[in-house]
Chain A
Amino acid sequence: MTNLLLFPVLIPFLTAMILLFFPKRITAQRAVTVTGMIASVIASTVLVSVVLRDGVQAVTLGSWPAPFGITMVSDPLSAGLVLTSNLITLAIVFYSFRSIGKGREKNLYYSAMMFMLTGVNGAFTTGDIFNMFVFFEVLLMASYVLIVLGGEKRQLRESIKYILVNIVSSAFFVTTVAMLYSVTGTLNMADISAKVSEIGQSGILTVIAVMLILVFGLKGAIFPLYFWLPSSYAAPPVPVLALFGALLTKVGVYAIMRTVTLLFPHDPGFTHELLMILAVLTVIAGCIGALAYYDLKQIVIYNIIIAVGVILFGVAQMNMAGLEGAVFYLIHDMLIKAGLFMLIGVIIAITGTSNLREMGGLMKTYPGLAWTWLIAAFGLAGIPPLSGFFGKLLIVQGAFEADNLWGGIIILASSLLVLLSVIRIFIHAFWGEPKPVKGTTAGVYRGLLIPAVIVTALTVMYGVGTEWLRPLMWDAAEILHQPSIYIDAVLKE
């Protein structure tokens, strides 16, 4: 029993509380945020090493025995995701210094960011389904603040829709939890899993599983439920967009991974088949969107949707290769999306527009930006040895092992379209005749580019160091594949 796994939740929370006391003093705000984030990154790094050494960590709050108190669980998957979220948020904090503007900084921007990280880390760590709802609400409340902060017309218009969609999906979540409680009589996810395998997965439990996929699919933007995402995400400024794109949808994806593998693995003929079909449709819809727009933000936003489909396709295979690929691809996608959004932020800062038709020839004046973009684009498409390759390789291998030939081929083909969509940005923005641009000062350019380059370098290391990361991913996939490890770790104490 260790309290270590609570630190990545508590440190951002305390930081956010401290920040509330002096909103107008920007230097102090920045210093406190960076200090808190570094502490949180260190805590989550230690957590990952402890989880790798000693196996799954679980703590039940208030020293109640396991199914009765609220349990927090850190397995390799959640610890890895917590570390990734912390790293990305730290990079985006540095990125915000030069881009978010004094007005937002004086109005609790950093505080909302820290509250959101609290919710994200909590949702990754919790082992209790109702507690997961609470952490979802924590991160959603903070995201409502972030999306509307600044109060531009467009932000107000889009945030109303964003809030409405999320309120409805939260109401569904509560409904589903209530039904689950009436069938199993418990809320602890390990305990639910044990009970479900005892009583067998009856029809009503399959209905609940589909409702959970619906709820998390709304947050994670799977095929019929993603329509709110592109316009909502395009409304706030780029650092907020990077934060949302890297973290928020991935929480929904993580929740689907956790629930379908832990709670409802007994009727894969229905739930996993459904998930797989939806995943493939998500990939196709995302590809169409990514190729249809001439807007930087929209192209990368549709790439989020493609990645969600690819990850869930891996999950739906339910074999070791597919699950390991999904874990690999999930963490890769968080990093690369943060990097891509930060890079388009640099382009927008230079050109003053996000319309591809109005830019060109940036290669001559900003070569560093161009080459970083090219590396990030190759990483996204999965050109070896960059980070997207190995995850997708495993997912496709899993699909072939599970005899889902066509799904695997569509996933492979989607890589080409992904590459095309981001290379179009490279061609239009960096090649061609230079067009007159607004330009930006060298200080701002460096302040924006350096965090983006660091995140891109992280993705390159993630790709090159695959062999070194393999044990972590293998452990994570094994726990998803065999829920008994998770159940034993929680209920034994």
Chain B
Amino acid sequence: MEILMSVIIGFLFMAAVYLLLSRSLLRVIIGTGLLSHGAHLLILTMGGFEGSAPPVLADGVTDFVDPLPQALILTAIVISFGVTALFLVMAYRAYQELETDNMTLLKGNDEHD
């Protein structure tokens, strides 16, 4: 299971890097989404897959999963959701204002305004 998860996480990271390096801003944003998915799955994997019962206090249950990674993922998901929403809005606004979503045209400094 750990091996399978590692391969999936690696694949997500690979796809994210490919998308981050592309020119279209929308692809870049999707890339950041995949990157955070990979990170979240990594937290899950790093917590370990031992334990069979949910981490709820009940009589007779001793073999429960580690609840902490789940709490961490929940927090990280909410944060990445918020950041992605903001990023999308900002990308749309930038597209309206600058009339391009091509990252190579978004270079430049004062002289190229």
Contact = CB atoms under 8 A, between A and B. Distances in A.
A331 interface: no
Contact of A156 (B32, B98, B108): B98
Interface stretch (A2-10, A13-21, A161-169, A305-313): A161-169
A161 B68 contact: no
B47 interface: yes
Band of interface residues on B:
35 or more
Given A141-B83, A164-B32, A182-B47, A159 B90 contact: yes
Given A134-B75, A179-B46, A168 B86 contact: no
Given A137-B79, A174-B36, A154 B68 contact: no
B59 to A, nearest CB: 22
A141 B86 contact: yes
A437 interface: no
Contacts of B68: 181, 187
Nearest to B107: A157
Contact of B97 (A133, A141, A151): A151
Contacts of A154: 113
Given A148-B90, A179-B46, A181-B46, A171 B39 contact: yes
Given A148-B90, A156-B90, A168 B32 contact: yes
B65 interface: no
Query: Secondary structure at chain A's binding surface: helix, strand, loop or mixed?
Result: helix
B15 interface: no
B92 to A, nearest CB: 10
A167 B83 contact: yes
Contacts of A231: 109
A414 B91 CA distance: 40
A8 B36 CA distance: 31
A6 B38 CA distance: 33
A168 B91 contact: no
A118 to B, nearest CB: 15
A130 interface: yes
A328 B36 CA distance: 37
B109 A181 contact: no
A406 B76 CA distance: 43
A130 B72 contact: yes
B94 interface: yes
Given A137-B83, A171-B32, A175-B39, 5 more contacts: A164-B32, A168-B35, A171-B39, A174-B39, A177-B43
Interface of B: 20, 25, 28, 32, 35-36, 38-40, 42-43, 45-48, 68-69, 72, 75-76, 79, 82-83, 86-87, 90-91, 93-94, 97-98, 106, 108-110, 113
